[in-house]
C-alpha cells in the first residue's frame, strides 16, 4: 500500500517536469493533454505491476526515469540550478522503494552528474545560463548532502529490515512454543499424566521389591 502511494505521488511529479522539457505552455493544450495522458498511463502501468507483485522493477524504472528527467532539466541551468535538490527525492525514494544500496547508487550518480555539469559549465562546452553561478564548493556541498541522505536512508532501512526480521523470528518461536504446548495438552491433563506416571513408577518399584524378597527367601 505504501509503495503504491509513493509511486503515485512521485509519478505525478512527471507532469510539470515533462511540461518544462517540451516547453509546453498554457496555450498548447494538445501538448499538455498528451503529456498528462502519457504520465497517467505510465503511473497506472507501474501501479498495475506493483499490484501484480512486481515492486522492484517499477521502482527502479520510476527512480531512473526521474533521475534522467532531473538531469536533463539541469543541463540548461548548470550545476547551480534550482532543481539540484530534486536529486534528494530520488535518493530517498530509491532507498525506500528498492533497497538501501540503491540510495547509495543514486547518491553517487547524482554527485557524478553534478561534477560533469560543473566541468561542462566551466569549460564552456555548452552554453549555459545558470540561475546561480556554480563553483566546486556548491558541488561538494550538494554531494555531501546527497551522501549523508543516502547513508541515513541506508541505516534506517537496514535497521527497519533487521527489526522486522527479528519480529518474524520471534513470531516463529512463539508458534513453535504454542504447537508444543498444544501437543502436551491442557495443564490439568498434564498434571494427571504426571500423577499416572508417578503411580506407574511406584507400582513398578513395589513389584521389583517383592520379586527381590521372593528371591531372597528362595
pLDDT tens-digit profile of 128-170? 665 555 566 666 666 666 666 666 667 666 666 676 777 777 7
Find all residues with CB under 8 Å of 202, minimum gap 6, and list them: none
Do 199 and 117 lie in one domain? The reply is no
Over the Cα atoms of the chain, what is R_g? Answer: 33
In a domain, 179, yes or no: no
pLDDT digit string, tens, across residues 185-200: 555 444 555 566 556 5
At 145 the pLDDT is 66
At 38 the pLDDT is 66
Do 108 and 193 lie in one domain? The reply is no
204: containing domain: 185-217
Do 137 and 91 lie in one domain? The reply is yes
C-alpha cell at 184: 502436551
Q: How many domains does the chain have?
A: 2
Do 80 and 133 lie in one domain? The reply is yes
Do 112 and 168 lie in one domain? The reply is yes
Amino acid at each position: 500500500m505504501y509503495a503504491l502511494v509513493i509511486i503515485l505521488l512521485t509519478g505525478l511529479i512527471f507532469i510539470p517536469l515533462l511540461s518544462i522539457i517540451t516547453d509546453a505552455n498554457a496555450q498548447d493544450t494538445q501538448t499538455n493533454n498528451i503529456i498528462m495522458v502519457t504520465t497517467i498511463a505510465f503511473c497506472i502501468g507501474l501501479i498495475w505491476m506493483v499490484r501484480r507483485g512486481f515492486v522492484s522493477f517499477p521502482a527502479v524504472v520510476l527512480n531512473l526515469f526521474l533521475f534522467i528527467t532531473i538531469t536533463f532539466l539541469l543541463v540548461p541551468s548548470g550545476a547551480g540550478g534550482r532543481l539540484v535538490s530534486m536529486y534528494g527525492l530520488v535518493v530517498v525514494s530509491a532507498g525506500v522503494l528498492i533497497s538501501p544500496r540503491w540510495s547509495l547508487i543514486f547518491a553517487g550518480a547524482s554527485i557524478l552528474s553534478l561534477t560533469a555539469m560543473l566541468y561542462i559549465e566551466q569549460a564552456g562546452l555548452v552554453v549555459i545560463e545558470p540561475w546561480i553561478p556554480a563553483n566546486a564548493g556548491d558541488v561538494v556541498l550538494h554531494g555531501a548532502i546527497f551522501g549523508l541522505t543516502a547513508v541515513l536512508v541506508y541505516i534506517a532501512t537496514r535497521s527497519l529490515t533487521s527489526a522486522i526480521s527479528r519480529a518474524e523470528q520471534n513470531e516463529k518461536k512463539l508458534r513453535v512454543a504454542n504447537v508444543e504446548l498444544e501437543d502436551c495438552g491442557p495443564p490439568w491433563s498434564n498434571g494427571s499424566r504426571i500423577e499416572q506416571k508417578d503411580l506407574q513408577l511406584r507400582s513398578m518399584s513395589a513389584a521389583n521389591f517383592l520379586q527381590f524378597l521372593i528371591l531372597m527367601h528362595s
